[in-house]
Amino acid sequence: MFKKKSPIGLDIGSSYIKAACLNDTKAGYELSMFEMVPLQTGVIADSAIADKAALVSSIKELLRKANIKKDGAVIGISGHSAVIVKKITIPLMTEDELSASIKYEAQQYVPFDINDVDIDFQILGPNSETEEQMDVVLVAARKDITKDFCDAVDMAGLIPVIADVDSFALCNMYEINYGIEKRKNIALINVGASTTNICIIQSGMPVFVRDSIIGSNLHTEVLAGSLNVSMEDAERLKMGRSVEDVSQADVYMAIASASEEIFTEIFRSFEYFRSSIGDESIDRIALSGGAALVKGFPEAMSNRLGIEVEVVDPFKKIKIPDKLDIAYIHDMSPIAAVAVGLALRRAGDG
C-alpha cells in the first residue's frame, strides 16, 4: 500500500524559518528532517508578512538546504493582531448546535469583523460552577493574514494543507513528549525573536493563550545599545560567545535588564490568567524559543517568577536517526518546539 508522506511543519518566525518532518513508525515518531535558515529583518512585522518576495526566497532557500520537493506543509499563525484564542463560557449545547451558532457566540469576544475571520472551537466540558453552561476554547484567525502565509508557502513550492495556531502546536509538542498531567497548570512559554507565545494548559487542554510583541530581540537591542557594539556582535554575546573588549559582567547586566522587561510581561499574563480563570497557581513553566538558549535566562525566569522552569526538549520522545546531525539538533532543540508541534499535524485532523 502507498504510504502517504508526512507534512512539513513550517514555523515562520521573524528571525528564522524552521522546518521539521516526522515519520510515523510502529515505535513512535522519528525525525526525518530539521533545518532552519535566517530571515532578513523586517520580512515579518507584527506577525504579518511585510515582504512577500523575500519570504518566498527564504523558504525556497530552506527547501534547497533540506532537499525538500513539493510536499505538504503545516504552517503556524500567531500574534495578537492575527489570531484570538479565548476560553469562554456559554449555555450548554451540542457540538452541532455550537457549530451553527458559533459566529453569534464569538462576536462579543472577537475584535475584528466577524466576516473577516475563520472561527474554530474546542468544547472543554461542563462549567465547574453550573451544569447549565459549558467551557469552550474559541479561536478566530484573520483570513487575510492566513491567506497571505498560505500564498507565500505555495509560491515557494509547497502545498499548504493546514494552518494551525503556534500555541496549539506547542500543546501538541508538549503532550507527545511529556504526556498529560492531571490537575496541573503548565505554562508553555515560547520566547522567539519578536513574539512571546504564552499558553497555559490544564490537564493537557489550553485554557489561556496570549501572544506578546516582546521577545528576545530586546536582548540584542539592549546589548547593542548599552555596550556600543553591532547587532551582529550583540547576537554573539547573547548566545554566550565573546567579543573583543567586552566584559562578561557588562553582558550579564545588559541581559538581566532586558530579561526583566520580558519577565514583567509574562507576570502580567499570569495575573490576568488568575483573574480571568480563577485564583489558580502555575505549577511549572515549560520554556522554548531562542531565548531558552540565552545563558542564564531560564534560571533568571525561575527566580523572578518564583516558578520551576524547565527548558523543553521537543525530541524527548522522538527518535533522531544517526544520519542526522544529532548534536546540532539537540543544541537547537528549544528553537524547534513549534515546528515539531506543527509537524505532528496530519491532513484530516479535527
Q: What is the pTM of this model?
A: 0.94
CB 342 within 8 A of CB 164: yes
How confident is the model at residue 279, as a pLDDT? 64
CB 174 within 8 A of CB 344: no
How confident is the model at residue 348, as a pLDDT? 66
Q: Which fold has domain 83-140?
A: Dna Ligase; domain 1 (3.30.1490)
Mapped onto helix, strand or coil, the DSSP state of residue 40 is coil
Tens place of pLDDT for every residue, the chain, 350 residues?
Answer: 344 578 999 999 999 999 999 999 999 999 999 999 999 999 999 889 999 999 999 999 999 999 988 789 999 999 888 999 999 999 999 999 999 999 998 998 998 899 999 999 999 889 878 889 999 999 999 999 999 999 999 999 999 999 999 999 999 999 999 999 888 999 999 999 999 999 999 988 899 999 999 999 999 999 999 999 999 999 999 988 999 989 999 999 999 999 999 999 999 999 999 988 766 789 999 999 999 999 899 999 999 999 999 999 999 999 999 999 999 999 999 999 999 999 999 876 65
- Count of other CB atoms within 10 angstroms of residue 95: 11
CA distance 68 to 5: 12
Residue ranges per domain, the chain? 83-140
CB 28 within 8 A of CB 177: no
Contact partners, residue 106, CB within 8 Å, separation at least 6: 114, 119, 138, 140
Residue 278's φ and ψ, nearest 5 degrees, are 140, 160
CB 134 within 8 A of CB 106: no
Cα end-to-end distance, the chain, whole Å: 25
How confident is the model at residue 2, as a pLDDT? 40
Write the CA distances from 130 to 90, 96, 106, 184, integer angstroms.
11, 21, 21, 22
Fill in the DSSP letter of residue 244: T
Residue 168's φ and ψ, nearest 5 degrees, are -70, -35
Cell numbers found for residue 155: 509560491
